[in-house]
A and B are shown apart, each in its own frame.
Chain A
């Protein structure tokens, strides 16, 4: 069908999640005419969720109410390049969001900064350990940006969100009670940390007694009422424990809905089209300039939206797919080790420890929780410890971060318990209050490899006839070794807390697409300093098409041992700042390769 053409806009934004909302508000604030095109439905707190029905584990957690339907679009998966990938028909390892707010609506709101060394990873590791210490097929890179450059933008995102925490490093001075390994902060968190329930407090105490510096996890669930710099108000968290996979009905979790959209939606020069899926970024005949996007509305009608500036702000894998389908940037070829789109795709290396305590002495009340509650230690993250003796690189934070006691999924039972029946029920009942299962207790990095990437599937197509994105991913020995080391360290702390029985659930290969890990897919359209090995320059601007900027974790050259959202938000503000202060004055490449 021939696309009908809509009136030209200054800016078209693909996707209205965190980064789309940030870019829209900044660019509309700069006076530009902005339209955002969102695949899913409109969502706001009032019309999408209410405290009298939103705590529905079956609807949201089990039946994935907020998420994309695989029938709408999906992707294919394989572990190795010599395998045939098959389409995913039920989400597992990660959860693609759908609708206004994107992942920012259903996240837990864990709001971590990456370490200064994470941004210069290859330089840092080769300097400390030598070139030969890194596996030959590990393709980690520097980001092309430093922590110090990003710091003001981290600060801006955290004050937008009202992040709650205890600073560990204020302008270079280490602070008691915070994370001493973090990069310097220009000012404290906008809000004090959330209160910690019993098990989290006990973990912090045991960790301190073992010599670790335990600190509260930085949280986007409010410890008190907060008014952000845009004048939008958030309320204090009620510790109900329905955060990740859910919409917060109490205005207590930072999301685009609770921080930006009330202001953005009032702007006369901003327009949103919901239930409309962008199918292509259009370019001129030379492929050097984006002319807008093509999208299909809910009636199946095709439209062209011309624009001078295109912001791609979808989820990682859909950013990559749209670039490949639009023939922007050279597709990555792992055999030739050439090309950039799809390259350096990563996820996270997660594991857990379940521990069982004497139920006559320990009542943990796991249902008192929030999505980013918890006490953590950072001694084993990034390069905070000497990797020399351990023969691996990377690491992660670890902590007692049990973020809910939701009844369907919070059923830890000791090994040997039958899988069903009266004995299983009795074991669930006996252990519910006295067992601890942090969920993602060990939150490890996943570094990039030559044979972990995304390309277009040769066989399977979406409902528009476009090839699905194909993921090729497996764990490498470096990450598996890292995980064993971290999980063992983690279990020691639960032993010190007094656990009677400890079950270590190491992350093992092969990568399992059916097992939820995190939604932290990263890479595939990475930022960097060299157009041969990166899709974007340091301002998230496409090397090939300078009026295209690509947001999100797809820009991460590799993933660190933290949740990505704080860095995603900071990079969006960094890019918005570059567009407003540099690009608009002189549209063109901001970095000359």
Chain B
């Protein structure tokens, strides 16, 4: 008999949605709210800013912190931002809160690390930040001490952030571009401000600052590649319509793709709870972010690695993803035309093949299908071959992946 333990599984805390947190899992059954109140305005802004994504630990109390955020330099643990006076921010003044959120300075004057995305939150107005403060003051105070700074030397010296800010931090609220539509401006504000999309999707310098000339062109973070979300048809999401973008953000799925990993968490905690007009604004903005296109040619389909990859694909992948890589709309992601497949770095494709992936389940798309792990079944060379094949088929073109890269990916995500 299998070694079994009785468990209680309630509501969205099921295995299907382990990333959910109790406070925000009830998206299906949200009570009616007074939209005009400061607290409600702050609640919605906290959704836009996805505060809970970092400040609520998996299975933990809402906003009580403890969620480690992995950066290229080490771990930063998100703080307790409940009104608890000892371990939270109950003792902070509104002014201190505003300075922390928009200028990256803690109540004691020390520098915050940009794992806290203040370089984006700075685009919010003071009034908006104080609304978030009002909302956070309304949640339950939780006594939970968090040691945020777990970085190794020398990164643990907060004063080093003074230099970082001088290099990369451009404070100040969002400025409307009068030449653009109101919807575009709203989208630009959401993407560049509270939504902090660039925090994951924009390539970074060695010091972790955004490479501004490559905005939203994709970056490896937390063992995934946050793909290019520009309008490039070869590297980005240029073949998505605005409706596809809205469907993806709202439900975690569209006819091409499924959100999993950190993006699945973002959908659960943030974009699935945004208004349709805000999602439409984000789509309008993203569809107007020009990307780069690559003119590289795919590898020769008769190359040995491509033939090996094609054989593996036919045996193990095609039953679900189809021989032409198109998948099944809303259920099995399309590999053809997928920005996460053709990405500059193969982080996500290797991770998903090795470890599998659980797509997000939402009220609008409750199915939550998963990709099985193949890491136990395929050797490094086989995974390299099938990933190379996928990245050089159906219009994609990318350099061949070496077996050593697969070995590295196994360790990185393991």
With A268-B10, A273-B6 in contact, do A262 and B373 touch (Cβ < 8 Å)? no
Check if A275 sits within 8 Å of B6, measured CB to CB.
Answer: yes
Tell me if B329 counts as interface (CB < 8 A to partner A). Answer: yes
Per the bound structure, the CA–CA distance linking A179 and B332 in Å amounts to 34
Contact pattern, A 256-286, Cβ under 8 Å of B = 1, otherwise 0: 0000001101111111111110000000000
B26 partner residues in chain A, CB cutoff 8 A: 268
Contact of A266 among B332, B361, B377 (CB under 8 A): B361
Binds B, one of A192-200, A230-238, A307-315, A432-440: A230-238
* A233 contacts B7, C-beta separation under 8 Å: no
Of the listed stretches B222-230, B335-343, B362-370, chain A binds B362-370
Closest Cβ of chain B: how far from A548's Cβ, in Å?
Answer: 24
Complex Cα gap A250–B320 (Å):
7
Given A51-B372, A52-B372, A270-B11, A41 and B366 contact (CB-CB distance below 8 Å): no
In the complex the two chains form, is B366's CB within 8 Å of A263's CB?
yes
* Contacts A225-B329, A251-B331; A72 near B29 (Cβ below 8 A): no
Query: Which interface class (under 10, 10 to 19, 20 to 34, 35 or more) fits B?
Result: 35 or more
Quick one: which of A234, A240, A267, A275 contacts B4, CB cutoff 8 A? A275
User: CB within 8 Å of B: which of A204-245?
Assistant: 225, 227, 230-236, 238, 240
Q: A233 and B6 in contact (CB under 8 A), knowing A50-B372, A52-B372, A69-B1?
A: no
| B132 interface hit (Cβ, 8 Å) | no
Contact (Cβ within 8 A) A273 B7: yes
The answer on a CB contact under 8 Å between B365 and A231 is yes
- Among A44, A52, A298, max chain B CB count under 10 A is at A52
Does A42 belong to the interface (CB within 8 Å)?
yes
A46 & B6 in contact (Cβ 8 Å cutoff) = no
Residues of B within 8 A of A227 (CB): 330
Residues of A within 8 A of B29 (CB): 268
- Tell yes or no: A249 within 8 A of B by CB: yes
> Any chain A CB within 8 A of the CB of B15?
yes
Within 8 Å CB of B331, what residues of A?
A: 225, 233-235, 251
Interface residues as binary, B319-362 with A (CB distance below 8 Å gives 1, 0 otherwise): 11000000011111000000000000000000000001010010
With a 10 A CB-CB cut-off, give which of A44, A69, A235, A249 has the most chain B CB atoms.
A235
B8 interface contact, C-beta 8 A = yes
Would A52 and B15 count as touching, CB distance under 8 A? Answer: no
B162 to chain A, nearest CB (A): 46
- Residue A297, interface by CB 8 Å: yes
Is A365 an interface residue, CB under 8 A from the partner?
A: no
Is the C-beta of A299 less than 8 angstroms from some C-beta in chain B? yes
Contact status A52-B316, CB under 8 Å: yes
Closest Cβ neighbor of B28 among chain A residues = A266
- Known interface pairs A69-B1, A238-B319; A46-B11 also in contact (CB < 8 Å): no
A47 within 8 Å of B (CB atoms)? yes
A53 and B369 CA atoms in complex are apart in Å by 17
Are B12 and A266 in contact (CB-based, < 8 A)?
A: yes
Contact B11 A297 (CB under 8 A): no
* Residues of B contacting A146 in the complex (Cβ-Cβ under 8 angstroms): none
Q: Decide if A388 is an interface residue (CB 8 Å cutoff).
A: no
- Are A71 and B1 touching (Cβ within 8 A)? yes
Q: When chains A and B are docked, how far (Å) is the Cα of A270 from the Cα of B8?
A: 10
**A36 to B, closest residue via Cβ:** B9
CB distance B373 to A50 under 8 Å?
yes
Report Cα–Cα, A275/B9, bound state, in Å. 11
CB of A412, distance to nearest CB on chain B (Å): 27
Interface residues of A in 17-37 (CB under 8 A from B): none
The one of A41, A234, A265, A273 in contact with B14, judged by C-beta atoms closer than 8 angstroms, is A265
* B5 proximity list for chain A (CB < 8 A): 275, 298-299
> Which residues of chain B are near A411, meaning CB under 8 Å?
none
A51-B319 contact, Cβ under 8 Å, with A230-B366, A276-B6 = yes
Within 8 A of A (CB), among B283-341: 316, 319-320, 328-332
| Contact status B358-A46, CB under 8 Å | yes
Give CA–CA (A44, B359) in the complex, Å. 13
The listed residue (B4, B365, B369) touching A46 by CB distance below 8 A is B369
Q: How far is the CA of A265 from the CA of B17 in the complex (A)?
A: 10
CB-CB contacts below 8 Å: A33-71 with B: 41-42, 44-47, 50-53, 69, 71
Q: In whole Å, how far is B354's beta carbon from the nearest beta carbon of chain A?
A: 13
The answer to whether B366 and A46 touch across the interface, beta carbons within 8 angstroms, is: no
Assess the B9–A272 pair: CB atoms within 8 A: yes
**Cβ of A539 to closest chain B Cβ, rounded Å:** 29
- A269 proximity list for chain B (CB < 8 A): 11
Cβ–Cβ contact B328 & A225, under 8 A: yes
Is there a chain A Cβ closer than 8 Å to B16's Cβ? yes
B6 vs chain A, min Cβ distance (A): 4
Q: Which of B369-383 contact A (CB under 8 A)?
A: 369-370, 372-374, 377
Closest to A297 in B: B6
Residues of A within 8 A of B411 (CB): none
- In the complex, are the beta carbons of B320 and A51 less than 8 A apart? yes
A265–B377 CB distance below 8 A: no
Chain B residues whose C-beta falls within 8 Å of the C-beta of A46 in the assembled complex: 16, 358, 368-370, 372
Q: Does B2 contact A (CB under 8 A)?
A: yes
Q: How far is the CA of A233 from the CA of B370 in the complex (A)?
A: 13
Q: Are A42 and B2 in contact (CB under 8 A)?
A: no
Check A41/B9 contact, CB under 8 A, given A50-B373, A51-B319, A262-B16: no
- Say yes or no: A42-B10 contact (C-beta < 8 A), given A51-B372, A52-B316, A231-B364: no
CA gap between A232 and B364 in the complex, in Å = 9
- 15 more A-B residue pairs beyond the given contacts A50-B356, A274-B6, with a C-beta to C-beta distance below 8 A: A42-B7, A51-B319, A52-B377, A71-B1, A72-B1, A227-B330, A231-B366, A265-B11, A265-B12, A268-B10, A273-B8, A275-B5, A275-B6, A276-B6, A298-B4
**6 intermolecular pairs with C-beta atoms under 8 Å apart:** A262-B361, A262-B368, A268-B26, A273-B6, A274-B9, A299-B5
A residues sitting closer than 8 Å to B (CB atoms) are 41-42, 44-47, 50-53, 69, 71-72, 225, 227, 230-236, 238, 240, 249-251, 262-263, 265-276, 297-299
User: Which are the 3 A-B pairs with shortest beta-carbon distances?
Assistant: A50-B372, A46-B370, A297-B6
